[in-house]
Amino acid sequence: MKKFEENIPKAVAALRKYKVVNSVGEYEKQYNGYISAFGASVMQSGLLPTIVFYSSDKGATATRSLLLKVLLEIRAESAPAGYDVSNMYHLVTTGVASAPQANIMTELSNQDRKKIERDLLQNAIAMKLALRLFKPVA
């Protein structure tokens, strides 16, 4: 079984937890585009610029930053207490998904950075497939 297949149930739970999907199984159709664009953005721009873009909801019709919470939830199975979108930035830059003020500053090797990128792309695939279980609304 591929890693993204194992993560689909986690993605379903995270999509519901962060209310990307409402109680009747519907989601704003913009999330389809946001999730689809995530992988392409990582491949074209890199992981860090993608995280910065998704951390801001400026100009977005739906809350893009929720997708980062979902991705972190899939990766860790539960987001750390006090999580906000800066945690994803911290994960990408240090390898630790804790608050930036935690003073855990480690240099990531290129290999570690690529592993995090691979993991997040696998989680994005799981999230995209999980979202297909629900109904988009206009």
Residue 131: pLDDT band with limits 50, 70, 90? very high
Mean pLDDT of the chain: 79
Mean pLDDT for 26-47 is: 91
Mean pLDDT for 7-26 is: 93
Please check whether residue 61 lies inside any domain of the structure: yes
Strands (E), the chain: 26-28, 135-137
Structural domain containing residue 115: 3-133
Cα separation of 10 and 77, whole Å? 7
Cα separation of 19 and 25, whole Å? 10
Please check whether residue 39 lies inside any domain of the structure: yes
| pTM of the shown model | 0.77
Q: Does residue 57 surpass a pLDDT of 70? A: yes
Q: Do 6 and 131 contact (CB within 8 A), yes or no? A: no
Per the structure, how many domains does the chain have?
Answer: 1
Q: Does residue 82 surpass a pLDDT of 80? A: no
CATH code of the domain covering residue 51: 1.10.520.30
Please check whether residue 85 lies inside any domain of the structure: yes
Q: Does residue 13 surpass a pLDDT of 80? A: yes
Q: Does residue 1 surpass a pLDDT of 70? A: no
Please check whether residue 138 lies inside any domain of the structure: no
Q: Does residue 21 surpass a pLDDT of 90? A: yes
